[in-house]
Amino acid sequence: MKYRQIYSTNKNGARRSRRWLQTISNLLFPLRCQSCGLLIESIKNGLICESCFSKLVFLTKPQCPVCGLMFLKTGGDGHRCAGCRGKAPFFSKARSVMRYSKEVGTLIHKFKFGGDLSVLATFAKWAEKKFSQDGDRPDYIIPVPLHPDRIKERGFNQALLLAKIFFPTEKYKIKHILKRTENTTPQTKLDGEKRRKNLKNCFMVSSGIDVKGKVLYLVDDVYTTGTTVNECAKVLLQAGASRVEVFTLAMVVKENEI
Ligand SMILES: [Zn+2]
Ligand SMILES: [Zn+2]
């Protein structure tokens, strides 16, 4: 009992000093929303203001069991969306933390093109425990690779940093199994068939790690049409993987799809 009392006093004390430190730090370095720049008081949702946070759409059930598209109008879990019914992808399942929006896009842009790694703490908050209990646990976690020239330019691979925050307790499973052999035109500048052609034969499994019979998780920042992760999944299945699942931060969803 005595121990518990002392312990809880210490804990409260620590909490109080943390709050003080936070207050002092807020006075010295006022916190601003990483999306709109407004001053914010609380970081319970990450560095984002209440208004921007309220616009985020987290993807939950009911959703397409394959690509993870969330059904708002039709309801009913378990049925595939029209896109996945038309042509089944190579990956077994894709899940995103949230729908792509202006607010998420601003943070992703700061991260990828501005090298602002402070947004990772906000992403970690949003992705917290989202994928850690999801489905079969992987043998390996694979970040979608960038071409070495692009890494040199940017200084980091955003997919690798996201893999670490999506699966914090399984970081040791992260392996660079895929290589990008060509420095392709960014997918965002292309559409439809051109996206697929642009990526044809641009990924290969690097030698050294056997993926035969393995469950693999692929990680990327944005799921737009799924072309990039599908191309990666194809190469991994051809190398003998038993299944490939995809995890991204944001999924681009057209207005009429949700
Ligand atoms: Zn804001
Ligand atoms: Zn689908």
pLDDT, position 115: 92
Would you say residue 7 lies in a domain? Answer: yes
Instruction: Find the 82 Cα to ligand 2 centroid distance in Å.
Output: 7
In terms of C-beta density within 10 A (0-12 exposed, 13-18 middle, 19 or more buried), how is residue 65 classed?
middle
Together in a domain, 179 and 91: yes
76 with 1, same domain? no
Residues 147 and 71 in one domain: yes
For residue 243, being part of any structural domain is answered with: yes
Q: Which ligand is nearest to the CA of 39?
A: 1
44 occurs within a structural domain: no
Looking at the fold, whether 103 and 195 belong to one and the same domain comes out as yes
**Is the domain of 174 the same as that of 74?**
yes
Q: How far apart are CA 5 and CA 15, in angstroms?
A: 15
Quote the domain boundaries for residue 140.
Answer: 57-257
**What spatial distance separates the first Cα and last Cα of the chain, rounded to whole Å?**
54
Instruction: With CA atoms as reference, report the closest residue to 119 among 34, 61, 243.
Output: 34
Is 137 part of any domain? yes
Res 91: pLDDT: 97
Tell me, yes or no, whether 15 and 68 share the same domain.
no
Give pLDDT tens digits for 114-168: 999 999 999 999 999 888 776 679 999 999 999 989 899 999 999 999 999 999 9
Ligand 1 mean position to 47 CA, how many Å? 9
Ligand located closest to 67 CA: 2
Q: Are residues 8 and 74 in the same domain?
A: no
pTM: 0.84
Q: What is the pLDDT of residue 178?
A: 96
pLDDT of the residue at 210? 94
CA of 101 to the centre of ligand 1 (A): 13
Walking along the chain (258 residues) 10 residues at a time, the average pLDDT comes out as 47 72 70 94 92 95 92 72 91 96 96 92 93 82 94 93 95 95 69 69 87 97 94 96 97 77
Are 163 and 234 in the same domain? Answer: yes
Give the count of domains, the chain.
2
Could you tell me if residue 48 is inside a domain? no
Question: Tokens for 59?
Answer: 């993807």
> 104 C-alpha vs ligand 1 centroid, how far in Å?
11
pLDDT at 216: 97
CATH number of the domain enclosing 154: 3.40.50
Q: How far, in Å, from the CA of 218 to the mean position of ligand 2?
A: 17
21 CA to middle of ligand 2, Å? 46
- How many angstroms separate the alpha carbon of residue 29 from the centre of ligand 1? 17
For residues 239 and 121, give the distance between their C-alpha atoms in angstroms, rounded to a whole number: 35
From the list 252, 203, 249, 254, the residue with the least C-alpha distance to 111 is 249
* Predicted local confidence at residue 5, as pLDDT: 44
Residue 120 shares a structural domain with residue 215: yes
Q: Are residues 107 and 164 in the same domain?
A: yes
User: Nearest ligand to the C-alpha of residue 84?
Assistant: 2
Does residue 172 sit within a domain?
yes
Ligand approaching nearest to the C-alpha of 230: 2
The predicted pLDDT at position 205 comes to 94
Rounded Cα distance between 196 and 67, Å, is 17
109 and 26 within one domain: no
Please check whether residue 35 lies inside any domain of the structure.
no
Residue 39 lies in a domain: no
d(CA 43, CA 185): 37
Same domain? For 19 and 82 the reply is no
